[in-house]
Amino acid sequence: MWKLLRLFIILILMIPIFSWISWKLKAKERINLLVLDKTTPNDDYSEHLSFFWVANQMRWVKQDGEGYNFSEDFYGFHPKEDGEYSINDLRALNEDDFSELADSLDLAFFADTYGIYNTNWKGHPDYGKDTISLFYGGLKAPELVLLQKMKEKGKTILAEFNFTASPTSEPVRKKAEELFGVEWNGWVGKYYHTLDTIIDEEIPRWVPDLYEKNYNKEYNFKNAGIVLVNDKEQIVILDAKEDLNSRFPILESEKATQAKYNVPETIYYPYWFDINTTDSRNEVLAWFSLDVNSKGKKLLDRYHLPHRFPAIIEHDQEYHFLYFACDFSDNQMGIYSSYFRGINTLSGAFYSANQVKDRKMFFWKYYQPFMESLMDTIAERKAHRLVYVD
């Protein structure tokens, strides 16, 4: 009996070793990747880390065979120690440079353009002040040139929440919207487990300030809820007990999306999202639904806000474009688990369904299978292009 128990323990302990070896033996995929993330105020790189997690799990590597480094291999703001930083972006490139870059790339991923403010970067000279000061951010004209070139060459472009929203200038926003047929309506939203600013210190100071300014009454929310705010400083707060049947924004996938990307029909989404419309050139793969009651619907109607709107938008014909109308890749993952093949079969051990603020459940149940399927498609596209060229 003891010998069998020892053998069982040894086998259990060997599983991670076999899993790592299996990952190490997986064939590498040379994918030329550009990632842009302007919202990196500290070294957790949360806005793009989940993307690199899946890329590493899939064995995506650079042209020299080296793996991608999530803390270095991206364009945008690079924080350093003691408030130091560097900025590496596309501003120095000319027209020929953009054309050559677009030729070489298999994928451009615009993770976040929101940027660096005194409210999220401790190195900002105005950190801690009540006013909001932008240091670096927004989609810029040079990046738009690259996107145009990528589109012309039929490449894959991925973009996420805040792609064209504030602080992007209106002229650049309009050009980006025309380029891809996705239009932001000015509103963003986020679920909060509690709207009590004393309990949840992550609630921005502008939430109660804007509420009192808009409604001329004291901010006194204590329950969970969804905060919606627009670029004109209007705010709507949906109280979970007063205005909602289901407190979370729900991500609802079309049947074809469920089959193609191996994702569930519905899952709650507890983080930032924006509200967009799309023209007929695109297809909606998934929708956000705010399950409002009659009182909540009146609140939305007052501001002409929909309770159902696109969550994932795709164009997949002469070029490939996907827009995720949420912080899709911001899931607070660590990179080291990506070195173990098949680890998703143990995913239930890494999150608790009762921990509603923990976005790891969303990562394992939706993000990881979706992105794995998508990355397979991108690799296949590259292989077909090479066959065609040869």
- Full DSSP string of 213-253: HHHSS-----S-EEEEEETTS-EEEEETTTTBSSSS-EEEE
Q: What is the pLDDT at residue 10?
A: 54
Together in a domain, 194 and 148? no
Q: Is residue 278 part of a domain?
A: yes
Neighbours of 6 (CB within 10 A): 10
| CA count, 13 A, side-chain hemisphere, 211 | 18
Instruction: Tell the burial category of 13 from Cβ atoms under 10 Å away from its Cβ (0-12, 13-18, 19+).
Output: exposed
Strand partners, 235: 229
DSSP state of 28: P
- Would you state the pLDDT for residue 144? 95
For residue 113, being part of any structural domain is answered with yes
At residue 356, the pLDDT reads 65
Same domain, 192 and 145: no
61 and 109 belong to one structural domain: yes
pLDDT (0 to 100) of residue 4 = 56
d(C-alpha 213, C-alpha 208), whole Å = 8
Considering 276, 308, 340, which residue would you say is the last residue of a domain? 308
C-alpha span between 329 and 111 (Å, rounded): 7
Considering the domain architecture, whether residues 193 and 272 belong to the same structural domain is answered as yes
In a shared domain, residues 264 and 362 = no
Helix (H) or strand (E) holding 390: none
Alpha-carbon distance of 55 to 287, in angstroms, equals: 25
In a domain, 177, yes or no: no
Structural domain boundaries, residue 196: 185-308
Which residue, 168, 179, 158, 208, is CA-closest to 375?
Answer: 158
Say if 146 falls within a structural domain.
Answer: yes
What is the model's pLDDT at position 230? Answer: 95
Q: In what order do the strands lie in the sheet with 273-278?
A: 235-239, 225-230, 182-192, 273-278
Could you tell me if 296 and 333 lie in one domain? no
Model pLDDT, residue 347? 64
Instruction: Answer with the one of 278, 308, 338 that is the final residue of a domain.
Output: 308
pLDDT digits (tens, 9 = 90+) for 20-40: 777 777 889 999 999 999 999
Residue 148, domain member (yes or no): yes
- Domain membership of residue 172 (yes or no) is no
Asked, for residue 214, whether it belongs to a domain, the answer is yes
* Same domain for 144 and 35: yes
pLDDT < 50 regions, the chain: 7, 389-390
Residue 170 falls within a domain, yes or no?
no
Query: Domain count of the chain?
Result: 2
Regarding whether 62 and 132 lie in a shared domain, the answer is: yes
Say whether both 130 and 211 belong to one domain: no
Q: Report yes or no: 157 and 315 within 8 Å, Cβ to Cβ.
A: no
Last residue of a domain, one of 242, 274, 308: 308
The pLDDT value recorded for residue 278 is: 97
User: Do residues 296 and 200 both lie within one domain?
Assistant: yes
Q: What is the pLDDT of residue 390?
A: 46
Where b means 16+ CB within 10 Å and e means fewer, 262-287 reads ebeebbebbbbbbbbbbeeebbbbbb
Enclosing H/E stretch for 52: helix 46-57
Determine the 3-state secondary structure of 194 from DSSP.
Answer: coil
Share of the chain above pLDDT 90, in %: 71
pLDDT the model gives residue 241 = 96
> Are 194 and 153 members of one domain?
no
In the DSSP assignment, the letter for residue 326 is B
**369 and 301 in a common domain:** no
